[in-house]
Structures are given as C-alpha cells and as structure tokens.
Amino acid sequence: MARPIAEGLYTDGPEPRLVGARRRSDGRIVFPAPSGPEAQHYERVELSPHGTLWSFTVQRFRPKSPPYAGNDDDKTFRPFAIGYVELAGEVIVESRLETDDVAGLRIGQPMGLAIVPFRTDPDGGVVTTYAFRPLA
C-alpha cells in the first residue's frame, strides 16, 4: 500500500492537489501548510493542480544521504530536474520535475501536478511524493 511522504501535504484521488494554507490576517498563501502553534493563524486550502515553470535546474549527482532518501546509489542514480512552479494567484512551489527530457524544459512551460513513487520501505511499502510534469 502506498503512503505519502508527509501527512496532509496533498490530497489523493483522480485529481490530486497540494494542500497549502491561507493566512487569516492578510490572505497570503503558503506551502506547505504550517503546523504546530503557527497553524492557528491559517486555514487550509487546496491549491491549483496546474501552473507554469518559473525556474529549474538539473541535479546531476546523488545528493548526500541523509537528508537524501532515494533508493539508489552512486551507480544507479539518475539525474533529475527540480524547479519552481508558479500556481497563478497562489504561491510558487519547489518541486521535483518528472520528465525524461530535461533539455525540453522551458521557463513558462505549463505544468501539472502528479503523485509519484519516491522510495520503497524495507517492508515493501511504497512512499509517494508530489512532482510536476510538463503538460502537452
């Protein structure tokens, strides 16, 4: 059975959404939603599942572990793109970018939210995370 990398980070279902929060005092939206005592100043909101690529880079070597928690090693590591996706009128979100063609990524490109496998636990359970993919 799959479980999210962090509870309350996104909704599940046919059209998943990231869960952010709107500050009650001024309407500013943040992601992820605050926890602990700060959470009382916010109301949770589901964010748009679509945005535009604001900026990106390519991670070409395996990051140090910890904090990196992938199921790969130096030999099996595959470079991946990471970037910022602007959810218009809401917030800019840092995200892994799911694509097999990093050379095809372009600033301003339409992007869509996806829930993707992140790693497999020792007991065989799949841990999922969010990512954005280029839209056709």
Give residue 21's identity as a one-letter amino acid code: A
The pair of three-digit structure tokens given for residue 98, joined into one six-digit string: 């799911």
How would you write the pLDDT of the chain (136 residues) with one tens digit per residue? 688 999 999 998 889 999 999 999 999 999 999 999 999 999 999 999 999 999 999 998 887 777 676 767 778 888 889 999 999 999 999 999 999 999 999 999 999 999 999 888 888 899 999 999 999 7
d(CA 26, CA 44): 14
Decide: 114 and 98 in contact? Cβ < 8 Å: yes
d(CA 132, CA 112): 5
